[in-house]
Amino acid sequence: MNKGQLVEAVQKNLGGDTSKSAAEAAVNAVIDAISAGVKKEPVQIIGFGTFSVVKRGARTGINPQTREKIQIKASKSVKFKPGAKLKASV
Res 15: pLDDT: 84
Q: pTM higher than 0.75, yes or no? A: yes
Q: Is 15 left (phi over 0), alpha (psi -120 to 50) or beta?
A: left
pLDDT tens digits, residue range 51-66?
A: 999 999 999 999 999 9
- Closest residue by Cα to residue 69 from 59, 77, 79: 59
Name the strand (E) or helix (H) holding 39.
Answer: helix 20-40
pLDDT at 6: 93
Q: How far apart are CA 90 and CA 82, in angstroms?
A: 11
Domains, in order of start, for the chain: 3-89 (4.10.520.10)
DSSP 8-state assignment for residue 48 = T
- Contact (CB, 8 A) for 1 and 9: yes
